Structure 1
């Protein structure tokens, strides 16, 4: 049976997709269109069109063919998203990921500066994460996030048109499972509070090292809140809580402070020499008094009250609970 030739497309993201698909096709033994169609649950015409048509296929058709050929769905999703954006850059995980990096996270990168966007893509890919796409403005970020459903979004704050925190609010309202890290050159207390209020899981400073980006992504993917060092609430926002809210007792305030500093329930118990059950009892009281159920909301409360004293690097590397 004759081997199906790859279509002729210009250099760029689409060409990388075509080359990767042809490589997977050959590795699978160059099966016939009928076989691919049967394995993928599509028509022979669809299977043939995906492999030979120079036009970019629809994602459902491409996904079916890739699955039939035994390809990496996540990798091809990232390549396909990049091919739909002429200026996008996609970095595939290296053959040998960074030692001990842990499981990969699906990440969407939103940054309007091309060079920094490319640097983020390369840094994120170097730690084994999958970049599902890139966007250069807030409106595209919202549409692409709801299309690709990443686990974590690295979202620049100062975007043209729709600001990063406004795009975050839209995304989190539509899909609360998507977690967002706001990126900014100045991770101030005001921005951190605004980010948390928009639904983000924290703020990442642009001067952080590559491994700091990786740690922040993994922490946020686990549901932790990433508060950079030096982001304590400034005097103008560190005001008392509303009069209608109950005052926290000293031990409750201490537990809230440790939560905001990134400690897990188990770590808090160790520091205070109490049981984990006792810590969670304190947290239940704090939640009842503040009306905040989410951990990110508790961090915001701590910032607003001036309790938090973030440790260098933000959240701890251990998974949070509660």
Structure 2
């Protein structure tokens, strides 16, 4: 029997929600189990319905999608949140990843592409809007020349070097466990290392992080 992933749609526009529900009705492996019109309602429904994936808009009344994602990941860390928005600015993009979203997609995405991207999310991958990654990548490369790791990434890697688990790091830094995983994924990519042990060894060798005496 094939796995069927439960979807919760969150958008303050009824037309968008109904359109997505109609579109997804024919998707194999996915089932829309609920709809919410704001962030607060999304959290309440997620606690009740326990979806596998939440498709979340950003700009909504009562509670925006970023704050809703932050709270939802704290309450239900196993639920995967994908931002689906018109916001194509890098500030919102970075904020979404910081609060623990597993993906960031623009509403201009083609329906069939959305289907494939949600399959990636179900497999544990992190799909991102191509237009935004292309815009942000040069900025990252420019900063990486002098110091590849952000202050937060250094904090995470320092705690890894001290032997803390992802869950312990999340508790120490007041982050979701998924956000810690995102930081570690970014660290491995920036340092071009295969695992956390290699990353720690390289960072200590290069003086990027230091262990307290």
What is the TM-score when the length of structure 1 is the normalising length?
Answer: 0.45
Aligned to 2:23: 123
Aligned to 2:9: 109
Pick one of 197, 200, 219 that aligns with 2:120. 219
> What displacement does 1:217 show?
1.4
The answer to whether 1:280 aligns with 2:189 is no
Decide whether the 8 Å contact of 1:203 with 1:227 is kept in 2: yes
Structure number having the greater helix percentage: 2
The answer to whether 1:156 aligns with 2:46 is no
Aligned to 2:67: 166
* Gap change, CA 1:236 and 1:108, over 3 Å in 2: same
The answer to whether 1:242 aligns with 2:151 is yes
> What displacement does 1:103 show?
4.3
Q: What's the RMSD between the two structures over aligned residues?
A: 3.3
* Gap change, CA 1:189 and 1:173, over 3 Å in 2: same
Aligned to 1:67: none
> What displacement does 1:258 show?
11
Decide whether the 8 Å contact of 1:172 with 1:178 is kept in 2: yes
Decide whether the 8 Å contact of 2:188 with 2:194 is kept in 1: no
Aligned to 1:256: 189
| Per-residue CA distance 1:62-96 (angstroms, 9 max, x = gap) | xxxxxxxxxxxxxxxxxxxxxxxxxxxxxxxxxxx
Q: Which has the higher contact order (CA 8 A, sep 6+)?
A: 2
Please, which runs of 5 or more residues in structure 1 have no aligned partner? 1-101, 247-251, 260-278, 291-322
Q: Following the alignment from structure 1 to structure 2, what is the Cα–Cα distance between the partners of residues 134 and 151? A: 14
The answer to whether 1:196 aligns with 2:97 is yes
* Paired residue secondary structure (1:132): strand
| Per-residue CA distance 1:27-79 (angstroms, 9 max, x = gap) | xxxxxxxxxxxxxxxxxxxxxxxxxxxxxxxxxxxxxxxxxxxxxxxxxxxxx
| Per-residue CA distance 1:200-226 (angstroms, 9 max, x = gap) | 101111011111111121111221111
Please, which runs of 5 or more residues in structure 2 have no aligned partner? 158-184, 204-213
What is the TM-score when the length of structure 2 is the normalising length?
Answer: 0.66
The 5 A counterparts of 1:170-181 are 170-181=71-82
* Paired residue secondary structure (1:126): coil
Pick one of 207, 213, 223 that aligns with 2:108. 207
Aligned to 1:62: none
Structure number having the greater strand percentage: 2
Q: Following the alignment from structure 2 to structure 1, what is the Cα–Cα distance between the partners of residues 10 and 118? A: 14
